[in-house]
Chain A
């Protein structure tokens, strides 16, 4: 197939628009030669180790666990009796526990039929409908276009409806949805959520094959596929755009694979429940989890094609990858191991030559409406000399709930220790822990004396995990006391963010933030990045992530050094006469060395001479943006703008009563106009060509593994 005929012109505007969409997403063929660079990265990825563990080990009490010790903690957490053989790879964390209870395939009463058609690989393999997830991403500069295919099949002997709760990146602008049946592709239609549900339910009850995509949170989605007949398959294709984060020369592409178990405070009206696999509860959003000894056949493949636009110096990942670099500016990366258990975020970082990065403005003009859209990327000057450091009032808020118990909590404590070591005379600090309730180190923030810091280390040593995640308690304790005007108050949340009441928490942040800055520190393998990002955004701060294999001490150390000396404060933009509107974020945050600021908006007219102004230490700063007068971006810029607008509207909604649904209507209108998933819009697709025989069958929830590092018994509701 020839995909390179770009010189053809069609006489209708819609074709131009379509061509732009397709061109923006078109595959750029890269040479097939692949070099396994894994070995070149040395011990960072490591090799496969085999460890024989006999019962529990006292070594698990070391302050920062090595992978081996961590593995044993996990083993002990799952079952502490008997002798086990544990296979553990530092990059993959694959477990093979050679204990069999001889029970055979799990066949709960609520599953259809009795004839599971898939092979039983080991004694605990659970037949479930989601067979495979295929992820194909194309990165151009800092914008990623991602196609996700979810392959569902029916391993039972009667008809089923498959239901799957899954995560997507918090900034994903989900814009396309296809149901694929064999060679047939049916494009889904974006409708208002209730209308889409009604269509789906009608189709399902009448025996038509149908699929429905619902958003429960900006990063949690529910896929329903109705009337899958025994042995048959139905695939669903989802396409989204998003911007990559940038940190100290590294761009990060993240694909989350599992929704962490959320804690829902009593009385919360819109929970995301964490249920055992066999729980028959219906209504509302719920994620079903496999028990630690259970596995499904679901696997995942990931292919990422990078066109960085600047030289790529290094590629790294949380997972074992196969990477090649066809040109200086491009890279091709694939997940190496198809049998990876999808229980932690896939992160792919690529480092670009820092000196070649220039702040820039990408623009796109809609050919029909002539409306312009821009995305501005500001890379602050990479200098720390001369940046002043004000005295700080540092408040650490540690999530000590059940989901943080074990490695994540130890990492969080290590991170706080790193920050304590960097506090200076003149600073004050406070440590707050929360789970079911909140308590704190000092009655008020205490001076950062040597003695107080040592007492704080003792306090950390005695801090244990358990209980729920009542984040609002911690939030109030952190923000509801008089602010010392002589110090900058930095509030650092260290949490996995496994809560179901995000909107309430973000509303509280907005209401109480004052002049404080929030730095959210996501801890764990599958953090609730939506919560982390929005807290930092509302709190005009920054976010950092601490993966299970990371050293909390090192990551916090680097992070603390950055945040204590902002590269640019009082940030504003000189548009040089350009007619801009609807600029997001509406309140520009401080900018930190090594961190990029992304701003998006609409504009009319030529874009020339845009500059970012601010205070750099005690002097004024002016960064002129490298931009072009002509269109340089694609339709994805309009989608990214619309996605950020919806995010801002949702933030406003959490902070205000919306009795006339004005904000809700704005979100709905924006989502429909730009064809995006939202809280108020859903994709639905129905195959009306054929009705399947009989009743609509049994609903089978796709159970997922508990995130790596998280304990099932302390986070999933009891059966």
Chain B
């Protein structure tokens, strides 16, 4: 099953920091969650900009010990100059009992945004699989924020 969600970022998000909003280049991050009843062993998702101009500047590990390394991203898309698009994937070799279920933060995507358009994002879960390699009926969601000053 493929699920796709489109997210339009509310402008107020970028008004929280005047310095950032004034800059032609600004930064934000997107937490990506996968919600699965069954334990999650592997996943692959596609993230792209539906509006505005974005560049992915980092792909961060999630909060599950089962996925303790930084996820991998699709080389071809970046190589082809697809700065507005990235495919990210990860898998775990943990025992089934160690795999997470429920709503899991699988990755945080770090973004650089440019231009005046209000950015919008498309997120698509390409696949999520169980320990046995079975496709899971999982949901994907994202939360967007900019970097707040400490």
Contacts and interface: CB of A to CB of B under 8 A. Distances in A.
Contact of B75 (A184, A185, A673): A673
Interface string A187-212: 11111000100110011001110100
Nearest to B134: A11
Main SS class of interface, A: mixed
Contact of B146 (A10, A199, A688): A688
Contacts of A15: 42, 44, 89, 91
Interface residues of A, number: 48
B108 A9 contact: no
A186 B70 contact: yes
Interface string A1-26: 11101001111101100110100000
A675 interface: yes
Interface in A664-687: 669, 672-675, 684-687
Contact of B112 (A12, A202, A672, A675): A202
Contacts of A11: 127, 129, 133, 135
Nearest to B23: A206
B58 A687 contact: yes
Contact of B57 (A14, A21, A189, A673): A189
Contacts of B129: 10-12
Nearest to A211: B58
Contacts of B150: 690-693
Given A10-B133, A15-B44, A689-B108, A203 B57 contact: yes
A178 interface: yes
Given A206-B19, A691-B147, A686 B42 contact: no
B42 A10 contact: yes
A416 interface: no
A179 interface: yes
A192 to B, nearest CB: 9
A3 B76 CA distance: 28
B71 interface: yes
A11 B89 CA distance: 13
Given A187-B70, A692-B150, A2 B93 contact: yes
Contacts of B72: 14, 18, 21, 187
Contacts of B47: none
A3 B89 contact: no
Q: Which of A15, A195, A199 has the most CB of B within 10 A?
A: A15
A3 B92 CA distance: 9
A203 B146 CA distance: 12
Q: Which of B58, B75, B90, B145 has the most CB of A within 10 A?
A: B58
B149 interface: yes
Contacts of A674: 75
A189 B58 contact: yes
B78 A685 contact: no
A688 B20 CA distance: 11
B91 A673 contact: no
Given A15-B44, A207-B149, A691-B150, A686 B110 contact: yes
Contacts of A685: 57-58, 110
Nearest to B27: A688
Contacts of B126: 12
Contacts of A179: 58
B117 interface: no
Contacts of B75: 190, 672-675
Nearest to B88: A187
B55 interface: yes
A186 B60 contact: yes
A295 to B, nearest CB: 34
B61 interface: yes
B36 interface: no
A688 B79 contact: no
A185 B95 contact: no
B33 interface: no
A691 B23 CA distance: 14
B126 to A, nearest CB: 7
Nearest to B71: A187
A686 B57 contact: yes
Contacts of B108: 689
Contacts of B138: none
A691 B94 contact: no
B91 A206 contact: no
Interface of B: 17, 19-20, 23, 25-29, 41-42, 44, 55-61, 68-76, 78-79, 87, 89-91, 93-95, 108, 110-112, 126-127, 129, 131, 133, 135, 145-150
12 contacts: A10-B42, A11-B129, A12-B127, A14-B89, A18-B90, A179-B58, A185-B60, A185-B61, A185-B69, A187-B72, A673-B79, A689-B145
Given A15-B42, A185-B70, A689-B29, 11 more contacts: A11-B127, A12-B89, A12-B127, A18-B89, A21-B72, A190-B78, A203-B112, A206-B25, A208-B27, A674-B75, A693-B150
Q: What are the nearest 3 A-B pairs in CB distance?
A: A187-B70, A672-B79, A688-B27
